[in-house]
Chain A
Amino acid sequence: MTPVNLRVRGLSKSFGGVRALDGVDLTVPMGQVHALLGHNGAGKSTLIKCLGGAFPPDAGTIEVGGTSYTRLSPRESIDAGVAIIFQTLSVVDALSVTENIFLGQEWTRYGRIDRRAQEEVAAGLLERVAASCSPRDRVGELPMGQRQLVEIAKALSRSAAVLVLDEPTAALSTAESAALAERVEDLRTQGLAIVYVTHLLSEVERLADAVTVLRDGRVTHRSVGAGQTRRELVEAIAGRPTRAPQVTQVTGGVPAQVPGSGGGADESAACEGGAGGSAASGGGAGGSAASGGGRVSGRTTAEPPASTAASGAPAHPSGRPRLTVDGLHGPGFGPVSLTVAEGERVGLFGLIGSGRTRILESLYGARRAVGGTVSVGDRTVTPARPAEALAAGIALVPADRRRQGLFPLLGAQDNALLPSVRHLARAGIRARGAEHRVFGALAEAVGLRPARPRLPAAAFSGGNQQKLVLGRWIHEARSVDVLLLDEPTQGVDVGARQEIYEVVTALAADRGTAVLFASSDPEEVVALADRCLIVAEGRIAGELSGPGLTEEALLSAIHDAEPAPDPGTQHTASAPAPSPASASAEGAA
């Protein structure tokens, strides 16, 4: 019997009445890669954070290397040998690779940092993870894949026995992903217990020795060895049996047909972007679904009420373009051309750093575009500032709610109505009666709970905070023509996510609002989009719509859309905007 390195038993954690984890068991022995699957909000992050000591669990035990804990502090977690590599890396850009590895545990000699000894050890660690960077490189200048390896090297330097990787390939190119997979296999043979969080079933097949699937905080599937099929996993993730006839193993070029998915009327619109070469393989609506070989239709895994509601009436009957973007380009993105019709919901799907956020921000005037035009209806607007975009009827719900969206200290009403106070005012004096009325209607429309206008926004749950930010642009005093959403349900619980989808869907259907949203979650794209554009390297690299718009097709499309590894472009592509958050930090600077 191999000694068990990580054993979680009966772990439970609630947030304000919502059970994020409900009696979760997880056992990962040494030398095992254990895949952890589940939709956003299924409890994966909560589980990881309990392991890392960020949250104390309500019940259950965490056993690491033979010692059992009912709760861990971050320090205890590190000392016990748990290392967590989060999607948003915690390396310090301004420091060198060596300084990062030894941060907080510097080696000193006569009271001074022993630089040479540190660099020697760092070089050894970098070799162990097969990183190509030098110990003296500044981390901020490295591509994402290398930064991740630096963080793994840092974990190894603290003699980590349990390595948790949180969607490690989400921000990586295909080549980097393949390299990472090899590293993970190396680390497995070195005896680490590895928890590998992912959305990608192909990674599970390639790497995992065992699989645990979470759904709504419970374990819905557990298997060891290669016994599980994709269908079993998809069912466990989705929480309901997939209907057999729709789950077709595709071996040729015909995508799985799914009834009630809005028809393929706009497939002719395919691939409008100026992407060429390898990008074309991701284009062409249905075809790409099959381009990756045997695929399971993921359509049935996520058919929320939202899309069912929309399928009653055609989502965009008129086909009249409401938003037209022509050749928009700027630093790190474009040229981008696209149209969104009245009442149409279009997704922008791509990896982190692919340029989705840059495209949305430049459409909104929050980031300066160098050239190209943006039109609303027949009017060319090309906003240079958010205020101009809003005047033209374009609004953005930004990705980083805390930093870019919310006024945490201010009350709910202020949060939702601040941009509109001036519109409601009469003769320069605020119309408080009207403000109350509009807020009341808005709170009901988005399902705000609690609907208390004075409660500070910081006191609301993530989902209700998002409803406040979204509510800004969809109340009676402020109805926009084009709604841009960046990661519309990031940090939003499952229930609120569904409500937000319903609000957005209703908005498009009832008021003809053109919706353009960026997402890195294939489930979300399938749930919310009529049509999806694949974004890679700041350009539109393909399009999926109709029955071809499935989770699996999306995932294979982004990997197909990645160009052949080219150190030069790879570097420039990832360096300026490693994540939406830091990308906009530069914009604000």
Chain B
Amino acid sequence: MTAADSVLTRPRLVASGGLTTLRRQPLIVVLGVMVAAFQLSTGSFLDPANLRGIATDAATLAIVAVPSALLVISGYLDLSVGSTLALGGLVGGWLAGQGQSPVVAVLGALAAGAAVGAVNGVLCCYFGLSAFIVTLGMLTAVRGLAQQLFPLPLSGFGTGFAWLGGARIAGLAAPVVVAALVLAAGALFLALTPAGRHVFAIGVNREAAHLSGIDVRRTPFALFVITGVAAALAGAIKASVLDSVVAGTSGSGFELAVLTAVLVGGVALTGGSGSILGVLLGVLFLGCLQNGLTLLDVPTFWQQMAQGSALVAGAALAYFAPRAAR
């Protein structure tokens, strides 16, 4: 075995030579060009304050996109994260508003997210129902539950809860630190653990994985639970940053933003391929696109068109680009 042969099993985040990485992730070039264009046209895009803003905005997306990407790699998907995010924010905010300690409030939010994820996981992995249908149904059902439980907007969560979204750790906003930890955990999971390889195997060929003695239900089930937890955490962070949550609108459309970031980042919807580096790039791409267009005073509708077009363009790129060795 030569050194070159060992690249496959190395973590993608620290993968091999720059050229190989570029070939696998053409998005890096696109992102670079886009950043340069925004800097030239606005003059303020690369200001530290603006970059911090992008990072904070992208953080919640990244926190949910990582486990979502793992789900997609293993051949599933979760469309319910927008509503789970709302439920998590509401439960956390409500507990904090009741005078509970911030730790209890956050744990409560995470428990709610885990419950939603467990329902998704049981139905999809153990009962074998279609993940698309189950999580589409849960998207609506959980939104309804949130509105039933919290018909009025919540606000005024106290300073302790505000720490979650506003604190600075080594000069970085707390959500950015959390997102960095989630990204690192995702990359290390894929690269270093047996279950990380199993995720690919299940996504490529579930039956062959089953016949190889791999538990094809437990790992995706765990990923559903983790995705629910991550969405609730993102909801708590958003609630903390805004100091308010509205059951009807919080996180609405978030599931599509997550899926867009994951797919733009090169994770195949058919399962079996993708990397955390790609997810990071996808999240940054969407974050920069939105921020740059806002700086340029582009109307929201045009921004939506740009985001949608980026997804389709990304799919076309993946289709026409010569398939790199995997």
The chain A residues found within 8 Å of chain B, CB to CB, are: 364, 366, 386-387, 389-391, 396, 398, 403-411, 413-414, 418-419, 421-422, 425, 428-430, 432, 435-437, 439-440, 452-456, 472, 584, 588
The answer to whether B213 touches A453, judged by C-beta atoms less than 8 angstroms apart, is no
B169, CB-defined interface residue at 8 Å: no
| A interface footprint on B1-25 (CB within 8 Å = 1, 0 otherwise) | 1000111111000000000000000
Residue of A nearest to B191 (CB): A430
The answer to whether B193 touches A414, judged by C-beta atoms less than 8 angstroms apart, is no
- Measured between beta carbons, the chain A residues less than 8 angstroms from B205 are 403-404, 406-408
Please measure, in the bound complex, the distance between the C-alpha atom of A418 and the C-alpha atom of B200, giving whole angstroms.
10
- Measured between beta carbons, the chain A residues less than 8 angstroms from B211 are 364, 366, 386, 396, 398, 404-405
CB distance from A182 to the nearest CB of B (A): 40
The answer to whether A419 touches B214, judged by C-beta atoms less than 8 angstroms apart, is yes
CB distance from B75 to the nearest CB of A (A): 12
* Contacts A428-B193, A429-B193 given; does A418 touch B209 at CB 8 Å: yes
- Measured between beta carbons, the chain A residues less than 8 angstroms from B8 are 411, 413-414, 453-454
CB distance from B150 to the nearest CB of A (A): 40
- Measured between beta carbons, the chain B residues less than 8 angstroms from A387 are 213-215
Residue of B nearest to A396 (CB): B211
21 pairs, A vs B, C-beta closer than 8 Å: A366-B211, A386-B211, A387-B213, A407-B201, A409-B204, A409-B273, A414-B8, A418-B198, A421-B194, A421-B197, A429-B192, A429-B193, A430-B191, A430-B194, A432-B6, A432-B9, A437-B1, A454-B5, A454-B325, A454-B326, A584-B207
Tally of A-B Cβ pairs under 8 angstroms: 107
State which size class the interface on B falls in: 20 to 34
Please measure, in the bound complex, the distance between the C-alpha atom of A588 and the C-alpha atom of B144, giving whole angstroms.
35
Residue of A nearest to B10 (CB): A432
Please measure, in the bound complex, the distance between the C-alpha atom of A196 and the C-alpha atom of B157, giving whole angstroms.
81
Residue of B nearest to A419 (CB): B212
The answer to whether B215 touches A435, judged by C-beta atoms less than 8 angstroms apart, is no
| A interface footprint on B296-326 (CB within 8 Å = 1, 0 otherwise) | 0000000000000000000000000000011
Please measure, in the bound complex, the distance between the C-alpha atom of A108 and the C-alpha atom of B123, giving whole angstroms.
44
Residue of A nearest to B212 (CB): A419
The answer to whether B9 touches A435, judged by C-beta atoms less than 8 angstroms apart, is yes
- Measured between beta carbons, the chain A residues less than 8 angstroms from B198 are 418, 421
- Measured between beta carbons, the chain A residues less than 8 angstroms from B6 are 432, 436
Contact for A408 among B10, B192, B204, CB less than 8 A: B204
* Contacts A418-B197, A454-B8 given; does A403 touch B326 at CB 8 Å: no
Residue of A nearest to B204 (CB): A407
B168, CB-defined interface residue at 8 Å: no
* Contacts A429-B192, A432-B6 given; does A414 touch B197 at CB 8 Å: yes
Contact for B197 among A389, A404, A430, CB less than 8 A: A430
The answer to whether A386 touches B213, judged by C-beta atoms less than 8 angstroms apart, is yes
Contact for B201 among A398, A414, A428, A430, CB less than 8 A: A414
The answer to whether A454 touches B213, judged by C-beta atoms less than 8 angstroms apart, is no
CB distance from A391 to the nearest CB of B (A): 8
Please measure, in the bound complex, the distance between the C-alpha atom of A429 and the C-alpha atom of B190, giving whole angstroms.
11
The answer to whether B212 touches A472, judged by C-beta atoms less than 8 angstroms apart, is yes
B208, CB-defined interface residue at 8 Å: yes
- Measured between beta carbons, the chain A residues less than 8 angstroms from B5 are 436, 452-454
Further contacts, 10 of them, CB under 8 A, given A409-B326, A411-B326, A425-B193: A389-B213, A407-B200, A407-B205, A430-B9, A430-B191, A430-B192, A430-B196, A432-B9, A432-B10, A437-B1
Contact for A386 among B9, B200, B210, B325, CB less than 8 A: B210
- Measured between beta carbons, the chain B residues less than 8 angstroms from A439 are 1
- Measured between beta carbons, the chain A residues less than 8 angstroms from B213 are 386-387, 389-391, 419
Residue of B nearest to A422 (CB): B194
- Measured between beta carbons, the chain B residues less than 8 angstroms from A391 are 213
B92, CB-defined interface residue at 8 Å: no
B272, CB-defined interface residue at 8 Å: yes
- Measured between beta carbons, the chain A residues less than 8 angstroms from B191 are 430
Please measure, in the bound complex, the distance between the C-alpha atom of A496 and the C-alpha atom of B313, giving whole angstroms.
43
* Contacts A386-B212, A404-B208 given; does A456 touch B325 at CB 8 Å: yes
Contact for A436 among B1, B196, B209, B210, CB less than 8 A: B1
Please measure, in the bound complex, the distance between the C-alpha atom of A398 and the C-alpha atom of B208, giving whole angstroms.
9
The answer to whether B1 touches A407, judged by C-beta atoms less than 8 angstroms apart, is no
- Measured between beta carbons, the chain B residues less than 8 angstroms from A432 are 6, 9-10
- Measured between beta carbons, the chain A residues less than 8 angstroms from B197 are 414, 418, 421, 430
* Contacts A404-B208, A413-B9 given; does A455 touch B1 at CB 8 Å: no
Contacts of B1-54 to chain A: CB distance below 8 A: 1, 5-10
Please measure, in the bound complex, the distance between the C-alpha atom of A29 and the C-alpha atom of B192, giving whole angstroms.
64
Please measure, in the bound complex, the distance between the C-alpha atom of A436 and the C-alpha atom of B1, giving whole angstroms.
7
CB distance from A117 to the nearest CB of B (A): 40
Residue of A nearest to B7 (CB): A454
The answer to whether B201 touches A418, judged by C-beta atoms less than 8 angstroms apart, is yes
- Measured between beta carbons, the chain B residues less than 8 angstroms from A366 are 210-211
CB distance from A361 to the nearest CB of B (A): 9
Please measure, in the bound complex, the distance between the C-alpha atom of A437 and the C-alpha atom of B9, giving whole angstroms.
13
| A interface footprint on B175-199 (CB within 8 Å = 1, 0 otherwise) | 0000000000000000111101110
Please measure, in the bound complex, the distance between the C-alpha atom of A98 and the C-alpha atom of B112, giving whole angstroms.
55
Residue of A nearest to B9 (CB): A432
Please measure, in the bound complex, the distance between the C-alpha atom of A524 and the C-alpha atom of B233, giving whole angstroms.
59
Please measure, in the bound complex, the distance between the C-alpha atom of A584 and the C-alpha atom of B206, giving whole angstroms.
13
Residue of A nearest to B1 (CB): A436
